[in-house]
Chain A
């Protein structure tokens, strides 16, 4: 961000005069760079939360909670991280089922899963 040309290049896609006029673009680009600095750190948190949601969805298909699943894996000393586990749960269902089974063996708390009653469609129109 040294001269006008570089700033206007970074300001592509901005709204209104912020992409054309240097005085406004400079402010907006500074703000954008600050956000990118901050968000490079929050991206790591967001991704981990996404992976956990995906793993949880995958394990709940096999009636296991995410927390119990991870506890079982740690007990069995399986060191796959959440990124890889989420990918496996999406694309390799049989491998994932194997992992869920291993975790279920290791952590018996999974045996007593309470199944929430599923919502039934009670609409009147037949």
Chain B
């Protein structure tokens, strides 16, 4: 089956039209997703400059707790970290979705983060529901939305609201003594995808039916 883990995108969407926020209670345990080996498999060609790199979050030194393994345990013991990191990797859900955020479409898988256009009105650690899901794919079935997969929701958490790298806008007209030098940093929001739900009751295309038709 096609590996869903081989794509990585950063997507943006217009928040106001398609997302809802609910303020979250303060998190009692730090939640972060360890993906030690996925970085190597996500090398896109250089031309696709819009892809975001799945770098490990900067809290690498913070003891990591996998939300799947131990929802009730937060052990800061150093020996636990290695085990958690190994166990976490194969337990990622093999599912992907195409979601539209900020006027742009992204391929999204749970556990990864994404840089989208700045979502106004959100704060850090807000849970977000992205409604415009255009396609959902699992290992065996694909749910193709026309245009949207009804009731499908991609849950995400706002991680950080920052600025893109600076772009120098330099305007120059020759022989007319006209030079303008402007720097620009586009605001963005980093959003971590936590889950994809709600697509089960949608007409799907299964692997068997494709095999039969080919």
Contacts and interface: CB of A to CB of B under 8 A. Distances in A.
A37 B1 contact: no
A94 B207 contact: yes
* Interface of chain A: mostly helix, strand, loop or mixed: helix
A83 B105 contact: yes
Nearest to B181: A1
Interface string A45-56: 011001000000
Interface stretch (B24-32, B116-124, B165-173, B187-195): B165-173
Interface string A82-104: 01100110111111011101100
Interface stretch (B14-22, B68-76, B143-151): B143-151
Contacts of A40: 167
Contacts of B47: 46-47, 50
Contact of B146 (A30, A77, A98): A77
Contacts of A92: 2, 4, 7, 96, 137, 142
30 contacts: A1-B168, A2-B181, A30-B170, A33-B170, A36-B170, A43-B49, A46-B47, A47-B47, A50-B47, A77-B146, A78-B134, A78-B147, A79-B134, A80-B105, A80-B135, A83-B50, A84-B98, A88-B98, A88-B107, A88-B135, A91-B3, A93-B2, A94-B1, A95-B142, A95-B144, A97-B214, A98-B142, A101-B210, A102-B144, A102-B205
